[in-house]
Chain A
Amino acid sequence: MSVSRRNLLKSTVGLALLAGPAALPFRAMAAGKIDVGVLFSNTGGLSIVEKSLAAATLMAIEEINAKGGVLGQTINPIVEDGASDPKTYNEKASKLVIQDRVVSVFGCYTSASRKAVLPVFERRKGLLFYPTFYEGSECSKNVVYTGAAPNQQLSNFIPWIVKTLGKKKFFIVGSNYVYPREMAKISKMLIEAQGAEWVADEYLELGHSEWGAMVGKIKNSGADVVLSNVVGDSLIAFYREFRNQGLKQETLPICATVTSEIEIAAMGAEYAAGSYTSFPYFQAIESEANKSFVERYRAYVNDPKAVTHHAMESAYFQVYLWKQAVEAAGETGVDAIRTAVAGQSFDAPNGKVTIDPDNLHCYLTPRIAQWQADGQGKIVDAFPEPVRPLPYVAYGETAENLICTAKGVDSAKL
């Protein structure tokens, strides 16, 4: 009876296919282990940067485990691949939070991926440690933000460009998405407050690498400084085209908020030499803590030429902040860790970092570096002390008048 055989075959295949994954058991919480999630892209276009963030996170976990772990337990990282796709990020975050029931997740690089995982963390009670500098305007109680807030990149940078470099006419250029547009908005406020002017505010499609027309516009704009919020490999093509069209960093410097050691190494240092970037961390920071960090990282990834950069350093120290919070809380509940992480301080490679108890962002020390011919930044300006993070600086937030507080965002002030 051929019919019944075929049916049997089909239906069993169908059932096995659908029931297979469902039959997987819950991950048992092994005694003596604390599960944490590590969620970055190991594949896809963003893996270039995100792999280094994952490596830094895993290195910190390994270091902590080697020294006895947390609360006498070892940290067990569960690594998932976001595949540079918000859909995958969303799915993997819900796996980590709901199925694996991890204590916290260290992860996400782009804002798009963070926005895609936010509902999981907020509605399913998870805690995300997010290491990237970003555009602000977010006040989640389920995220600890350890990268720079906009004020930590711009509030010192723009006045410095106007006063120290003596530049008066800004050409603002960025990739077409939220971070560059928000940074441009804040920059304009600061530029106008300094009595300087901006002549253009232009955007290019994300990932676009054809800069001929845009650099031509910069050349004809009469600007004396370029403020770049361009991201990814797009910015490499930008610096190259800039030089190819005969523009000189000495007379028309590019001042950037995103360009880091990783892109400088990729474009060839000669293209960026003389330009500036504002970040709280540079590989060139002259401190024993940082030199040891760079060495340990190079040994960890087994690459003597590996570079370190801002988001990566945050990915590293935020694991230590988390560890201190867990120890202070004495337990691993999300609420307990959130309460305990507020006000935690740690001596990171870039100096002292502290989690702001109000907005769960991080006190960091703004620095400005000028890129040299060897691909390293020479730090030309640094704040004397860490600066309070102000995620809502675009709406007039100041250290005295917070918009994002422990109670949530005070939207009456927006």
Chain B
Amino acid sequence: MMRSNDRRLEILAYGSFIIAVLVIPLLADVFWLNRIAKYLVFGMLGVAVALSWGYAGVLNLGQGLFFGMGAYMMAMSLKLQSPASVQPDGALLPDFMVWNAAPGASQHLCCISPGSWLWIPFQSQGFGIAMALMLPMLCSFLLGSSIFRLRISGVFVSIITLALVLLARLLLIDAQPLTNGFNGLTDLGWLTIGGYEFDPYAVATYYLVAVAVIVVLLATRFLVATRAGLILQATRDDANRARYLGFNVAAYQVFFFSVSGLIAGMAGMLYVIASEFASPTFLDLSFSISMVIWAAVGGRNSLLGACIGAILINVIEATASESPMLSEAWKAIIGLIFILVVLYLPRGLTGLARDIAARLGERPATSPKEQTQ
């Protein structure tokens, strides 16, 4: 009885979130539509963190690495779609490559600077999208394989991922002729599918992001309920016990870590579509830690909770920083919220919602409806 109630509760929570996401275009103006699309992308990052932290039990402090990979892969192909990349002779060459090239370098994508040939396949937008999804997944698979096969756990995984994202950021900025360094990739074209251009402020783009978030939410929710998901959670709770039971623990961990990387990469890709730029600040440590905090606020053990937590924190940040009263103090308020949530709501808002609901449910049965059940 209790379990089926829980299940119905969860279905309704997911259902109402999905409906809310789908009806927003009826209520929001152009600006808020775009803004909420960006926050939904952050919500997707919340799901990625919840998956690796709440379910696989490893705190990845370098989720920004996968987000950044997805973002840069997408941005590279959109950069080549931009009119700014068409040279007078008709050749495709990003404008910044011309500025950053050594004097007298060949004016072709193949060899204007060392490694610029890597850009050639990105002339196909399909390749950009495929890379935006595959590269983060592949890298998280490789990273996950080495971490989990070596049985590195806990804070050491966090330190490795942290060092890795710092290293990637350093190299990304240093490879200025190839990546435009600290300024990032801007002046991008729009995503075009079947001749339709996704204007970042159009309802279509919102729905592109919204549907992606919904699919990710439902798919991950399905995944964690499968046998593989249950083994994963058993591993999180006690890795050795799961090992003794004969499960190939590392394989499950690697699988979910890779899915988490894939989702973060997809989020990066969608963020570029909605915001029209990619920047090395996506790989900032503070951004990666922010993602973890969004998930903690929403509830790290709940995919939907982490997603809502990300959206909620960003809405609070936006409204607080835009109110004249709080414009100076909003960061301090955010800091305070983090502390209070960690201290008093260890299971995040999801935990709070469950407790409140449980308390309401525990009251003596008085409502006639309940008696009929």
A and B touch in the complex (CB under 8 A): yes
Bound Cα distance from A77 to B8, whole angstroms: 50
Min CB–CB distance A52 → chain B (angstroms): 15
Known contacts A98-B201, A118-B186; is-contact A11 B32 (Cβ 8 Å): no
Contact for A18 among B21, B99, B356, CB less than 8 A:
B21
Determine if A137 and B99 form an interchain contact, defined as CB atoms under 8 angstroms apart: yes
Determine if B174 and A176 form an interchain contact, defined as CB atoms under 8 angstroms apart: yes
Closest A residue to B169 by beta carbon equals: A205
Q: Within 8 Å of chain B (Cβ to Cβ): is A119?
A: yes
Determine if A178 and B87 form an interchain contact, defined as CB atoms under 8 angstroms apart: no
Min CB–CB distance A307 → chain B (angstroms): 22
For chain A, the bracket of interface size reads 35 or more
How many cross-chain pairs have Cβ atoms below 8 Å apart between A and B?
Answer: 189
Q: Within 8 Å of chain B (Cβ to Cβ): is A83?
A: yes
Bound Cα distance from A15 to B311, whole angstroms: 12
Bound Cα distance from A95 to B34, whole angstroms: 10
Closest A residue to B182 by beta carbon equals: A177
Bound Cα distance from A83 to B328, whole angstroms: 10
Interface string of A1-39 (1 = CB under 8 A from B): 111111101110111011111111010000000000000
Q: Which of B182-201 contact A (CB under 8 A)?
A: 182-184, 186-188, 201
Q: Within 8 Å of chain B (Cβ to Cβ): is A90?
A: yes
Determine if A118 and B187 form an interchain contact, defined as CB atoms under 8 angstroms apart: yes
Determine if A1 and B369 form an interchain contact, defined as CB atoms under 8 angstroms apart: yes
Interface string of A108-138 (1 = CB under 8 A from B): 0001100110111011100000000000010
Q: Within 8 Å of chain A (Cβ to Cβ): is B321?
A: yes
Residues of A within 8 A of B127 (CB): none
Known contacts A86-B184, A115-B184; is-contact A3 B9 (Cβ 8 Å): yes
Determine if A1 and B370 form an interchain contact, defined as CB atoms under 8 angstroms apart: yes
Determine if B24 and A2 form an interchain contact, defined as CB atoms under 8 angstroms apart: no
Known contacts A14-B16, A394-B99; is-contact A116 B279 (Cβ 8 Å): yes
Determine if A19 and B360 form an interchain contact, defined as CB atoms under 8 angstroms apart: no
Determine if A6 and B357 form an interchain contact, defined as CB atoms under 8 angstroms apart: yes
Residues of A within 8 A of B312 (CB): 17
Q: Of A17, A21, A176, which is in contact with the most chain B CB atoms at under 10 Å from its CB?
A: A21
Secondary structure at the B interface, as helix, strand, loop or mixed, is: helix
Determine if B36 and A22 form an interchain contact, defined as CB atoms under 8 angstroms apart: yes
Contact for A411 among B5, B17, B88, B187, CB less than 8 A:
B88
Determine if B353 and A10 form an interchain contact, defined as CB atoms under 8 angstroms apart: yes
Known contacts A112-B281, A115-B183; is-contact A1 B315 (Cβ 8 Å): no
For chain B, the count of residues having a C-beta within 8 Å of the partner chain is 71
Q: Within 8 Å of chain B (Cβ to Cβ): is A335?
A: no
Q: Which of A31-65 contact B (CB under 8 A)?
A: 42-43
Q: Within 8 Å of chain B (Cβ to Cβ): is A323?
A: no
Q: Within 8 Å of chain A (Cβ to Cβ): is B361?
A: yes
Q: Which of B156-196 contact A (CB under 8 A)?
A: 170, 173-174, 176, 180-184, 186-188
Min CB–CB distance A301 → chain B (angstroms): 14
Closest A residue to B367 by beta carbon equals: A1
Determine if A21 and B36 form an interchain contact, defined as CB atoms under 8 angstroms apart: yes
Determine if A181 and B100 form an interchain contact, defined as CB atoms under 8 angstroms apart: yes
Closest A residue to B34 by beta carbon equals: A94
Determine if A94 and B182 form an interchain contact, defined as CB atoms under 8 angstroms apart: no
Known contacts A15-B16, A206-B173, A414-B98; is-contact A21 B315 (Cβ 8 Å): yes
Residues of B within 8 A of A412 (CB): 88
Bound Cα distance from A112 to B183, whole angstroms: 4
Determine if B277 and A81 form an interchain contact, defined as CB atoms under 8 angstroms apart: no
Min CB–CB distance B44 → chain A (angstroms): 15
Contact for B322 among A1, A11, A95, A205, CB less than 8 A:
A95
Determine if A14 and B17 form an interchain contact, defined as CB atoms under 8 angstroms apart: yes
Bound Cα distance from A83 to B320, whole angstroms: 13
Closest A residue to B315 by beta carbon equals: A21
Residues of A within 8 A of B319 (CB): 21
Interface string of A90-115 (1 = CB under 8 A from B): 11001100110000000000011001
Q: Within 8 Å of chain B (Cβ to Cβ): is A313?
A: no
Determine if B29 and A178 form an interchain contact, defined as CB atoms under 8 angstroms apart: no
Determine if B367 and A17 form an interchain contact, defined as CB atoms under 8 angstroms apart: no
Residues of B bordering A, CB below 8 Å: 5, 8-9, 12-13, 15-17, 20-21, 24, 27-32, 34-36, 38, 87-88, 95, 98-100, 170, 173-174, 176, 180-184, 186-188, 201, 275-277, 279, 281-282, 284, 287, 308, 311-312, 315, 318-319, 321-322, 324, 327-328, 330-331, 353, 356-358, 360-361, 367, 369-370, 373
The 9 closest A-B pairs by CB, nearest first: A2-B361, A11-B16, A6-B357, A177-B182, A22-B28, A99-B31, A119-B276, A7-B12, A22-B27
